Structure 1
Amino acid sequence: MAEIAGGSRGVRGVSGAVPVAARRWPLVGHVFSLLRDPHRFMTSLSVRGDVVCIYLGTLPVYVPTTPELVHQVLATDANKFEKGMLFQRLRPLLGNGLAVSGGDYYRRQRRLVQPSFQRVRIARYAEIMSELAGELVSSWKPEQVVGVDRSMQDLAIAVAGRALFSTDLDTRVTSEIQRSVPVLLQDGSARALTPKLLEKLPISWNRRFDEAIGQLRRMVSELVRTMRTDDVRPDDLLSALISARDEETGESMNDQQVLDEVVTLLIAGTQTTALALAWLFHELARHPEVERRLHAEIDEVLGGRRRATFDDLPALTYTRQVANEVLRRYAPWLLMRRTTEEVALDGLVLPADTEVAVSPYTLHHDSRYFPEPNRFDPRRWAPDRDAGLPRKAFLPFGSGLHHCPGHSFAHAEIAITVATVGSHYKLVPVPGRRVRMKMTAGMPYPSQLAMRVIPRSR
């Protein structure tokens, strides 16, 4: 018989009964199942109920599995939740930036950050994206084997760094960003998922992570202080954040607040884009017909030009479909929230301080909303089919109040990079290298994504 959490007295004060996910182990809960076969585990949840209880160690976490309930958590009742356990573990890195803050503070910071991602600014950032994507392609040689995952990560970091700090960074600052951010991207998930008591142990990845945090935050803090004193500021994201004024209060951000948002943009703003690009090239190689159609669109839109621009984006419609399918297929596993007051969720009454987890991956692989969810099919996003998809079931950048303010930046960077690379090359897998998904708290990482650079013949 299926295990049930709750009952008349409930779990930690929860009122109501809720099914518990299968394969729960003593003391560690579902952590082994989650790490061993995350795809099977996450996609099994919706079969058990509209809300399912999983255990991270001995901690019960409630996972809504329908678009409506997920929307309630992220949007309708967003004011009754704060960021949950996994986000709180990253506070030493992100401070009180948008990725971890909540409540009135989050709303104020979002009002200050949002104008930095208006369309006119995205157009300026797109020039950086186009230039750096062109430089990357020019650095490749025919038949060269490249680590696509690392190449896309380096590109995303370079784009974010230049958008944030213009082109005036000296080599010391640039080198530090390029050194620290990959460490924080890869080790941050491990820090979030491992028991807190392990943080202080003198093991190599702890030392590496803590050193990278310190170096990056010191470097950015120095840049913020310098920018404050400059009479003429460049037209970059850092200047926009420093100059931003809250429309309601007229207040601006202090140095600490700017620092937290800049580090958040460097970390969160590069991870999704880099991973989406890496997985996209992987999927193109696995689906030749998709690749042929994508390249045909690129050739038609660019008309022989070798770099895509902001003005090309509206015409790159199939490219956008492919990107959306990648974002569906490789979604984050868990987004944690914690109730700040009593919340009624599908017949359950959750008291304050209850952990709730939203899983975009689970929604994106639910056959009720996406038939044959394991099949890579960009046609799902064609205009004649797109309208029939449940909007609340597709959460590549969150939803509601916590919808990522940089989603347009990410979409532009993905399309410009794919079109620029595709105007020159196709990427072919290296035989004998099996690509696996490495689970993290966010999007999964690809392992061994080595590909050969082949010039396109037209």
Structure 2
Amino acid sequence: MPVPVAPRRWPLLGHTPAMLTQRAKFTDALHEHGDVVRLDLGPLHAYFVSDPALTHEVLVTQGSKFRKGAMFDKFQPYLGTGLLLSNGEYHLRQRRMMQPAFHRERIEAYASTMARAAASLAARWQPGEIRTIENDMQELAVTIVGEALFSTEIGQRAVEEVRRSIFTVIQQGMIRALSPSFVEKLPIPGNREFDAAIARMKAVVLQVIESWRADGTDHGDVLSMLLLAQEDGVGMTDQQTYDEVLTLLTAGIETTAIALAWALYEVGQHPEIERRLHAEVDAVVGDRPVTFADVSSLVHTGQIVQETLRKYPIWFVMRRTLTEVQLGDVTLPAGAEVIVSPHALHHDERYFPEPQRFNPDRWTPEFVSALPRGAFIPFGGGNRQCLGNVFAQTEIVITLATIAARWQLVPTRPARVKFTSAPYPDGLLMKAVPRN
């Protein structure tokens, strides 16, 4: 049957102006026009899927009929063929080789790094000090992921470069993904910043890999796991390792830093949620450091995390059909571009009543069991689900609990949002007030 075309289409440019100016406001409303709606990104025709069941088909049930789409093609020359961008058997092989780095016992070991880094950050705050929370959480996320990846002294130099460059790569990369191809060739400041950041990061990460190969010791970090991993007696090349490291840095820092900043802001906006968070942390943790074993007992804290991941997820991902695919009443030809938006799904009032309201209490076991498959996808789904999702959720819970044990954070002005690949907080100023 005919696929409805989304409103606000411009001649030649299609829906790109609406996507760049309206962002999630535009895509969140597309379900009103159908379960599958056509979007034109310049000359590129794409199909926006807003129904959870059809989303589950794209990501899981019929996932083998899709590969990464046009948005990821634009990243590949710069980010390589890590898990985020690779396809087919190569992707499955790399995923199998990387999985041991994220097994439960490894995450349990990383948990002490998370708690130590969060406590170190909280210890630097001064009573009454106004903090820019998203900057603090970006620094913390880089520190945690960087220390989990690189435990050696030379690895710490890589962490410093990542802290300097990673957000330029993420934010300018998203602008490139939504823009016509000729834009990335223009000598404009954003392009120069992006290219320079990629070059710096590649140089320092390859230097760390070279150093590790000369040493050959398992340092208990993710890099050691990647370089020791083999399948059929064959390990990763330096380039393959670099691609996976850059993927882990890009995916592991952005989502976590955004979620932590927004979680702290939302808690500060809601006194009753904050009171219950403090009471739970006092009862479960007390004065000692938070451990991996505490995470399952921090129920309300976990609900805050789930609600934050619901309200502030990534904007959208793209897939491309490998063959003809039937999605509901729509037949998509081979080579069709498909867009799935976690943000649109998570703000659909059919499944999340009062979607703009921050309500951790919605995350009861009954609510979760009643959610249709595909309605809540903060980490994707199927064999494309983020390999570090447990790592990220553990990190957010441990950080929230560590900060809540020591501080009350009070917002000093309403939140501002800078929307790129996700709703980035922009100047979340909060006053640090000691709890005791």
Matched, 1:297 2:277: no
Query: CA offset at residue 408 of structure 1?
Result: 0.5
1:218 maps to: 203
Q: Is the 8 A contact 2:269 2:410 kept in 1?
A: no
Instruction: Quote the residue 1:264 is aligned against.
Output: 247
Match of 1:334 among 298, 307, 316: 316
> Aligned to 2:378, what secondary structure does the other structure show?
coil
Cα pair 2:147 2:156 within 8 Å, conserved: no
Alpha-carbon distance, 1:437 to partner: 2.3
Q: TM-score, normalised by structure 1?
A: 0.92
Structure 1 residue 422 displacement after superposition: 0.6
User: How many angstroms apart in 2 are the aligned matches of 1:44 and 1:236?
Assistant: 43
Counterpart amino acid of residue 180 in structure 2: P
**Residues 188-210 of structure 1: CA deviation (Å, up to 9, x unaligned):** 22222222211122211211110
2: distance between equivalents of 1:231 and 1:98?
24
CA distance in 2, matches of 1:117, 1:56: 37
> Unmatched 5+ residue regions in structure 2?
none
What does 1:238-387 align with in structure 2 at a 5 Å threshold? 238-246=223-231, 249-305=232-288, 307-387=289-369
Q: Deviations over 1:372-426 (max 9, x none)?
A: 2221111111234332222421101000110011000000100011001111111
Structure 1 residue 36: Cα displacement: 2.9
Encode CA deviations 1:116-145: one digit per residue, 9 max, x unaligned.
Answer: 100000011111111110110011111111
SS at match of 1:169: helix
Aligned pair partner of 1:97 in 46, 63, 82: 82
* 1:435 shift after superposition: 2.2
Q: 1:396 to 1:170 in 2, by over 3 A?
A: closer
Does the CA contact (< 8 Å) of 1:132 and 1:155 recur in 2? yes
Contact 2:284 2:298 in 1 (8 A): yes
- 1:425 is matched with which residue? 407
SS of structure 2 residue aligned to 1:376: coil
Q: Structure 1 runs of 4+ off > 6 angstroms? A: none
Task: Kindly provide the amino acid, as one letter, of the partner of residue 104 in structure 1.
Answer: E
The alignment's C-alpha RMSD in Å is 1.5
Match of 1:438 in 2: 418
Does 2:431 align with 1:452?
yes
The equivalent of 2:97 in structure 1 is 112
Alpha carbons 2:263, 2:305 under 8 Å: kept: yes
Cα shift at 1:54: 1.5
- Following superposition, the deviation at residue 110 of structure 1 comes to 0.6
What's the CA shift for 1:32?
A: 2.5
Q: Residue type of the partner of 1:297?
A: E
Provide the rounded CA distance (Å) in 1 between the counterparts of 2:173 and 2:433: 34
Contact 1:379 1:385 in 2 (8 A): no
**Given residue 430 of structure 1, which amino acid in structure 2 is its aligned partner?**
T
Amino acid at match of 2:419: M
Worse-superposed segment, 113-122 or 57-66? 57-66
SS in 1 for 2:177: helix
* 1:171 Cα deviation after fit: 5.8
Change in Cα spacing, 1:202 to 1:391, as seen in structure 2 (3 Å) is: same
Which of 365, 372, 381 is 1:399 aligned to?
Answer: 381
Q: Quote the Cα distance in structure 1 between the aligned partners of 2:47 and 2:242.
A: 33
Matched residue type, 1:156: A
Q: Note the C-alpha offset of 1:177.
A: 2.2
- Who is 1:4 aligned against? none
Q: Hey, what does 1:7 align to over in structure 2?
A: none
CA distance in 1, matches of 2:7, 2:158: 49
Residues 286 and 354 of structure 1, relative CA distance in 2, 3 Å threshold = same
Aligned-partner Cα distance in 2 for 1:225–1:164: 15
Secondary structure class of the residue paired with 2:217: coil
Conservation of the 8 A alpha-carbon contact between 1:245 and 1:252: yes
* Cα deviation 1:138-159 (Å, max 9, x = unaligned): 1111111111111101110111
Asked if 1:154 corresponds to 2:164, the answer is no
Q: Is the 8 A contact 2:68 2:85 kept in 1?
A: yes
1:35 touches 1:439 (CA, 8 Å); kept in 2?
no
C-alpha displacement of 1:170? 6.3
Q: Which amino acid aligns with 1:359?
A: S
- Distance in 2 (CA, whole Å) between partners of 1:44 and 1:284 is 28
Q: What corresponds to 2:187 in structure 1? A: 202
Which of residues 117, 122, 133 in structure 2 aligns to 1:137?
122
| 1:271-306 C-alpha deviation (Å, 9 max, x unpaired) | 00000001111111222211111111111111223x
- What amino acid maps onto 2:420 in structure 1? T
1:182-238 CA-partner distances (Å, limit 9, x unpaired): 322332222222222111222112111101101101111121122122143311100
TM-score normalised by the chain length of structure 2: 0.96
* Cα distance between partner residues in 1 of 2:260 and 2:201: 25
Deviation at 1:69, TM superposition (A): 0.5
Q: Distance in 1 between matches of 2:356 and 2:162?
A: 36
1:88–1:300 Cα change, 3 Å: same
Counterpart residue identity of residue 436, structure 1: R
Q: Distance in 2 between matches of 1:110 and 1:231?
A: 22
Alpha-carbon distance between aligned partners in 1 of 2:418 and 2:388, rounded to the nearest angstrom:
25
Tell me the residue number matched to 1:237: 222
Q: Which runs of 5+ in 1 are unaligned?
A: 1-15
Which sits farther off after the overlay, 48-57 or 224-233?
Answer: 224-233
Identity %: 47
